[in-house]
Amino acid sequence: MSAAAQPVPPATITIGRDATPLLRYVLRLGDTSLILGQRLGEWVGHAPAIEEDMALANLALDCVGQARLLLSYATEIDGRGFTEDDLAFRRDEGDIFNLLLAEQANGDFGRTIVRQFLLDSYFIELFGGLAHSKDARLAAIGAKSEKELRYHLRYSENWLTRLGDGTDESHARVQKSLDELWRFTAEFWVKDEVDTALVAQGIAPDATALEAPFRRRVAQCLSTATLRQPADAPIALSGRTGRHTEPFGRLLAEMQFMQRAYPGAQW
Amino acid sequence: MSEPAPENWAPEEATAWSILDGIMDPEIPVLGITDLGIVRYVRRTAPGAVQIGLAPTYSGCPATDVIRNSVRSSVAATGLAVTVVEVLSPPWSSDWISARGRARLESFGIAPPAGPVSSPRAILGAERIRCPRCTSERTERISEFASTPCKALYRCTDCREPFEYFKCI
């Protein structure tokens, strides 16, 4: 690189702390799509069959596309001239606000499908609700994403059924993943001052209204897949306030390596 | 969206449309971007200046950036000042693909979207997809996702050939 003459931008930026509720909310949405997209992208070249490799890459592409729409909106709200890439590559762990379920490691294919199914079942309600937001930009992004989510959900539902109602081995494995991952769904329904403010303004859908349709869909699909729904449990951590689980550090290191090692690098 | 009929276009708008008609989708080179329905409007904003509204197909479609750049440079080459605006709402729908676009897709070997998005069959994925090679309707889905986000992978059980299907969205 011949970047010696160019000023090197500061490596780390902070955007979400002390930000307005709208900005924090948009970051939560955008970061969840970004981190899930990164996890799905890890499958490229490793999936059990070429069709699933392409399918997971396509899901990743949609997630990253949704993240771009949301994070570029976040940069406009912030107004300091950062780009969506700055947000993806130059923030530290405590300033990234994704749902914890999105950052959980891929594990085997079945575990990825369980994670995807739970998130898709939530997103389809969330984006459907956002489509009616009083914030025109979020409404547009919600309506667009919801259409894409229908295909994601069809895919994850289909595979969950095949694996759950499959062999003893596949059943046992997805049941184990479901038992391990279910607790993270509790985070979908936690409401803090950001949610309360935006629900009151008609910008964000009320999580309570999303929960019943989510549970109906999950119960129905798990029953078809002959899987047992684990018991609910409270959750102490919250990715939405920047407190993450152990696998997150490694994901971030890989995702941000290039910009951290060579700040401002372009190609 | 009520766009003016061609006879009411300003000369700048007519020029821009004629250029846009010749720009092809980079991943489906027989399909023009106007056939695809992603050009939402062309507006004269000042003498010699137009604004063009483009709707992305899928959020993450890499072709979107390529299309935006080629729209900008091709229209600018006619001497017009051009700005390109991303139109997210209403979201792009495969229903907006023109009849000519559908015919071109099929002749290229890609089955066009089976029907209006509003039909329950399309939502449930229960469409009958016609093989673009032998026109048989005895086809089956191999995979929900294919080489680009907008397509699924099918095979024909009569001619045994695999083919791509442009999904309803």
Q: What's the token pair of residue A69?
A: 């729409």
Residue B115 vs residue A221, higher pLDDT? A221
Q: What is the pLDDT of residues A183-213, one digit of tens each?
A: 999 999 999 999 999 999 999 999 999 999 9
**A12 within some domain:** no
Cβ contacts from A onto B, under 8 A: 73
Residue B148 forms beta bridges with which residues?
Answer: none
Structural domains in chain B, sorted by start: 6-86 (3.30.300.130), 99-166 (no CATH)
Which of B58, B92, B143 faces A51 most closely, judged by CB atoms?
A: B143
Residues of chain A contacting B38 with CB distance shorter than 8 Å: none
Residues of chain B contacting A152 with CB distance shorter than 8 Å: none
Measured between CB atoms, does A62 come within 8 Å of chain B?
yes
Q: What's the token pair of residue A119?
A: 């998130």
pTM comes to: 0.91
Contact B144 A155 (CB under 8 A): yes
Q: What is the mean pLDDT of residues A209-224?
A: 97
Measured between CB atoms, does B143 come within 8 Å of chain A?
yes
Q: What is the mean pLDDT of residues A152-171?
A: 97
**A266 within some domain:** no
| For residue A227, pLDDT beyond 60 | yes
Number of domains, chain A: 1
Rg of chain A's alpha carbons, rounded to an integer?
19
Q: What is the pLDDT of residues B16-28, one digit of tens each?
A: 999 999 999 998 8
**A267 within some domain:** no
Q: What would the 3-class secondary structure string for B87-149 be?
A: CCCCCCCHHHCCHHHHHHHHHCCEECCCCCCCCHHHHHCCCCCCCCCCCCCCEEEEECCCCCC
- Do residues A230 and A182 lie in contact, with contact meaning Cβ atoms separated by under 8 Å? yes
Measured between CB atoms, does A148 come within 8 Å of chain B?
yes
| Rounded Cα–Cα distance for residues A183 and A179 (Å) | 8
Sign of CA dihedral A39, A45, A47, A49: positive
Residue A228 vs residue B6, higher pLDDT? A228
Measured between CB atoms, does A44 come within 8 Å of chain B?
no
CATH code of the domain in which A93 resides: 1.20.1260.10
**A201 within some domain:** yes
Which of B62, B142, B169 faces A147 most closely, judged by CB atoms?
A: B169
CA distances from A164 to A209, A219, A220 (A): 28, 13, 13
Q: What is the mean pLDDT of residues A95-109?
A: 98
**A1 within some domain:** no
Q: Residue A87: which residues within 8 A CB-CB, separation 6 or more? A: A13, A15, A27, A30, A71, A74, A75
**A6 within some domain:** no
> Closest Cα partner for A250 from A116, A105, A133, A123?
A105
**A174 within some domain:** yes
pLDDT of residue A152: 95
**A215 within some domain:** yes
Measured between CB atoms, does A251 come within 8 Å of chain B?
no
| DSSP conformation class of B25 | P
Concatenating the DSSP letter of every residue in A66-103 gives: HHHHHHHHHHHHH-S---HHHHHHS--GGG----HHHH
pLDDT of residue A8: 56
Q: Residue A195: which residues within 8 A CB-CB, separation 6 or more? A: A25, A204, A206, A207
| For residue A112, pLDDT beyond 70 | yes
Q: How many CA atoms lie within 13 A of A220 on its CB side?
A: 9
- Do residues A200 and A140 lie in contact, with contact meaning Cβ atoms separated by under 8 Å? no
Could you count the other beta carbons within 10 Å of the beta carbon of residue B44? 18
Residues of chain B contacting A54 with CB distance shorter than 8 Å: 143, 145-147
Range of the domain at A179: 21-227+238-261
Q: What is the mean pLDDT of residues A57-71?
A: 96
Q: What percent of chain A stands above pLDDT 70?
A: 96
Measured between CB atoms, does A66 come within 8 Å of chain B?
yes
CA B109 to chain A, closest CA, distance in angstroms equals 19
Q: What is the pLDDT of residues A11-58, one digit of tens each?
A: 899 998 889 999 999 999 999 999 999 999 999 999 999 999 999 999
- The mean of the pLDDT values for chain A is 94
pLDDT of residue A1: 46
Q: What is the pLDDT of residues B104-143, one digit of tens each?
A: 999 999 999 987 777 666 556 667 899 999 999 999 998 8
Calculate the CA A99 to chain-centre distance: 6
| Rounded Cα–Cα distance for residues A93 and B73 (Å) | 40
- The mean of the pLDDT values for chain B is 89
Could you count the other beta carbons within 10 Å of the beta carbon of residue B130? 20
pLDDT of residue A141: 96
Residues of chain B contacting A143 with CB distance shorter than 8 Å: 89-91
The vertex-A77 CA angle with A193 and A266, nearest 5°, equals: 125
Measured between CB atoms, does B88 come within 8 Å of chain A?
yes
